[in-house]
């Protein structure tokens, strides 16, 4: 090999190592033959351990039920990327949102697949917007049409008292639903990483805050709760959080867990100390649970996840048909010594 050729190879390797973007190269057998340090960081691996991975290993780190996970898996496994080469996919790993771009390159020694990785700083705006269009537009439209119908029937004298009462109640519920969405949106705006909001973190008792939101939920809905079992260790440390934001998160995860709880099932709520984090698990064991990871890309759980992520924590769901379903969140433990630094 000529000296100039060697110099060129070393130069390109040095440049790639300095990139802020992760780079992984797979050979024709789908085995990793090169990865820079940034790629290892984004995948939560040590640099030398990435070289032991293959395409299936990388795919196993991505949640196929969320964002572009399924489309990315199909394109990445295909022998011919075709028009999907150089197409960016947004996927979710255990604790990151990544933008992945696969490239098919034909070299002298054969074809290689290059995977570019970079971290996404915010959630998918198009999914949130689509949800909002449905959730906000529908009750507003119904409220307007219902109010007009109610007015016309009152004017004509054809309305019965029970009919007026039912219609007024439905209109009121639709209005309350819309106001609830507005409240969620206000928190969503504050939780937007692009806004760089100061959360004014403080030590917060997770169990006390959760029980407060549970009582508020019962009072607000006037519904009898299903069988709920709560277990928090007496020595559970305080978490580092904004009290008002954490209350919003707990209200959302509680409500969504109850909505996904199969009829007659028991909701088990437990907290645990994970050394650096406190973990809260909402466990349901019924086969009819509707809890799935894609719900984290829809309101209101999308808002809750962004708030938790801004606190330095994460939210995830383990849920498959016929299996145990768990909605979990983890928040960093309050460290008094660290806060004084």
Q: What is the pLDDT of residues 65-87, one digit of tens each?
A: 888 999 999 988 876 665 556 78
Domain ranges of the chain: 3-119, 125-195, 202-340
Q: How far apart are CA 266 and CA 283, in angstroms?
A: 8
| pLDDT single digits (tens) 306-332 | 888 888 899 998 866 556 789 999 999
Cβ–Cβ < 8 Å for 172, 139: no
What DSSP designation does 262 have? P
Residue 226: count of CB within 10 angstroms of its CB = 14
| pLDDT single digits (tens) 169-200 | 776 777 666 666 666 665 555 555 444 445 67
192: tokens are 């937007």
| CATH 3.30.565.10 is held by the domain 202-340 | yes
Q: How far apart are CA 7 and CA 244, in angstroms?
A: 57
Mean of pLDDT over the chain: 79
Q: How far apart are CA 135 and CA 139, in angstroms?
A: 7
Q: How far apart are CA 330 and CA 256, in angstroms?
A: 17
Which residues are CB-neighbours of 215 under 8 A, at least 6 positions away?
A: none
Which residues are CB-neighbours of 178 under 8 A, at least 6 positions away?
A: 136, 139, 140, 143
On whether the pTM is more than 0.95, the answer is no
Residue 100 pLDDT exceeds 90 = yes
Q: How far apart are CA 141 and CA 174, in angstroms?
A: 9
| CATH 3.30.450.20 is held by the domain 3-119 | yes
| pLDDT single digits (tens) 220-262 | 766 667 788 999 999 999 999 988 888 888 988 998 888 888 8
Q: In a 3-state reduction of DSSP, which class is residue 106? A: strand
């Amino acid at each position: 090999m000529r000296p100039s050729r060697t110099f060129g190879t070393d130069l390109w390797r040095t440049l790639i190592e300095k990139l802020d973007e992760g780079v992984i190269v797979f050979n024709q057998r789908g085995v990793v033959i090169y990865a820079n340090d940034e790629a290892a960081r984004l995948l939560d691996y040590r640099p030398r351990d990435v070289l032991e991975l293959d395409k299936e290993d990388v795919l196993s780190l991505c949640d196929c039920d969320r964002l572009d996970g399924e489309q990315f898996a199909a394109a990445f496994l295909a022998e011919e990327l075709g028009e999907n080469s150089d197409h960016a996919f947004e996927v979710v790993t255990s604790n990151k949102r990544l933008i992945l771009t696969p490239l098919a390159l034909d070299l002298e020694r054969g074809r290689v697949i290059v995977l570019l990785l970079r971290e996404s700083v915010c959630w998918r705006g198009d999914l949130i917007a689509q949800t909002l269009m449905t959730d906000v537009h529908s009750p507003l439209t119904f409220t307007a049409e219902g109010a007009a119908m109610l007015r016309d029937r009152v004017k004509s004298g054809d309305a019965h008292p029970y009919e007026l009462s039912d219609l007024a109640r439905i209109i009121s519920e639709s209005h309350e639903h819309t106001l609830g969405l507005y409240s969620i949106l206000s928190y969503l705006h504050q939780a937007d990483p692009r806004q760089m909001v100061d959360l004014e973190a403080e030590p917060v008792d997770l169990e006390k805050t959760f029980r407060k939101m549970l009582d508020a939920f019962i009072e607000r809905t006037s519904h009898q709760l299903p069988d709920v079992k709560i277990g928090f260790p007496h020595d559970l440390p305080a978490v580092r959080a904004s009290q008002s934001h954490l209350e919003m998160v707990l209200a959302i995860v509680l409500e969504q867990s109850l909505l996904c709880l199969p009829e007659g099932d028991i909701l088990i709520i437990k907290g645990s100390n994970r050394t650096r984090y406190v973990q809260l698990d909402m466990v349901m064991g019924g086969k009819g649970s509707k809890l799935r990871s894609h719900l984290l890309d829809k309101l209101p759980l999308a808002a809750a996840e962004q708030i938790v992520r801004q606190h330095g924590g994460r939210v995830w769901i383990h849920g498959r048909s016929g299996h145990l379903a768990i909605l979990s969140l983890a928040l960093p433990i309050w460290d008094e010594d660290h806060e004084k630094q």
